[in-house]
Amino acid sequence: MNLSIDVNETDILLEITVNGEIDAYTAPKLRDTIFPLSEKNGVNMVINLSGVSYMDSTGLGVFVGVFKNVKANGGQFKINGLSGRLERLFEITGLADIIDVNSQIEGEVK
């Protein structure tokens, strides 16, 4: 399955919408697209996964790396739009306790 990544950047927010499946085949494309964006100082990044039907550990690895980079550069990072299956994946791995999957970042439109 293909993966599509849409990036919408404003002065205060970087919104990324991901659609498709995130696995060993598509994770490099995801990483190559969003990792450079995470290097901006003070970036407020929100990733919407409502269109993601499947994700494996390689996808989780991408998000952990991007999260660490955003935090190291003084930014905020949030993931929203998780299906029940993806939410459970974040909970089981303990990432839901580390990565913000709930609250709203300033400037984000619900």
DSSP string, 29-47: HHHHHHTGGGGSTT-EEEE
Residue 74 within a domain: yes
Residue 64 within a domain: yes
Residue 79 within a domain: yes
pTM of the model: 0.88
- pLDDT tens-digit series, residues 59-108: 999 999 999 999 999 999 999 999 989 989 999 999 999 999 974 455 55
Residue 53 within a domain: yes
User: Which amino acid is present at 97?
Assistant: D
Range of the domain at 48: 15-97
Report the distance separating Cα 108 and Cα 6, nearest Å. 16
The count of domains in the chain is: 1
Residue 107: predicted pLDDT = 52
Residue 92 within a domain: yes
Residue 71 within a domain: yes
Any idea what the CATH number is for the domain that residue 57 is in?
3.30.750.24
Residue 87 within a domain: yes
Residue 108 within a domain: no
